[in-house]
Amino acid sequence: MTENALDPADFRNAMSTFASGVTIVTTTQDGRGPAGFTASAFNSLSLNPPLVIVCLDRGADCFSAFEVATHFGLSILAHGQDAIAKLFATRGADKFGGTPTVAGVATGMPLVPGAIAQVECRMHSRLDGGDHLILVGEVIHANSADVEPLLHYNRKFGHFAEG
């Protein structure tokens, strides 16, 4: 039996059916200011030590900043913050020009105010993930709020509805 090559569109469509939260991932670049991107490929990895993973497209505008970053911040977006998610997902956009941020208490990384959670990380490792770079962060500070999360499903933003 021979395996057929997977059609990338079929893979992309199948993965879009997985509902996930939405994060903004940020860092700072010496002399070049902040950098960031939108990610739904984010998850906790370990409790001891506290580790998270997030995946960054190698073609992203901010790739070079995260390739050398020593720290990064994650803002898990709340319902109603879809405009921020879209902005940080837009190639070439002035992501920090009109987006208010607050400095993280442990790292100073820019974080999105009003987010459901803010997580500050020390870069633990970077791993090859094909056309993505897997960033593994050691969590050094985290806080959360009791607000509704922004969800991403089938290429659309939405919110949780209890059934």
- For 20-71, the pLDDT digits (tens) are 889 999 999 877 889 999 998 899 999 999 999 999 999 999 999 999 999 9
Contact 136, 126 (CB under 8 A): yes
Whether residue 162 lies inside any domain: the answer is no
Whether residue 141 lies inside any domain: the answer is yes
Whether residue 8 lies inside any domain: the answer is no
**Percent over 70 (pLDDT), the chain:** 98
Whether residue 85 lies inside any domain: the answer is yes
Whether residue 14 lies inside any domain: the answer is no
What is the domain extent for residue 52? 22-157
Whether residue 96 lies inside any domain: the answer is yes
- For 93-103, the pLDDT digits (tens) are 999 988 889 99
Query: What CATH number did the domain enclosing 95 receive?
Result: 2.30.110.10
- For 126-140, the pLDDT digits (tens) are 999 999 999 999 999
Whether residue 16 lies inside any domain: the answer is no
Q: What is the mean pLDDT of residues 111-137?
A: 97
Contact 157, 149 (CB under 8 A): no
| Structural domain total, the chain | 1
Contact 93, 106 (CB under 8 A): no
Whether residue 10 lies inside any domain: the answer is no
What integer pLDDT is reported at residue 157 of this predicted model? 85
- DSSP letters of the chain? -PPPPPPHHHHHHHHTTS-EE-EEEEEEETTTEEEEEEES-EEEEETTTTEEEEEEETTSTTHHHHHH-SEEEEEEPBTT-HHHHHHHTSTT--TTTS---EE-TTT--EE-TT-SEEEEEEEEEEEEETTEEEEEEEEEEEEE-SSPBPEEETTEEE-----
- Cα separation, 54 vs 86, whole angstroms: 18
3-state helix, strand, coil in the chain (%, to 5): 15, 45, 45
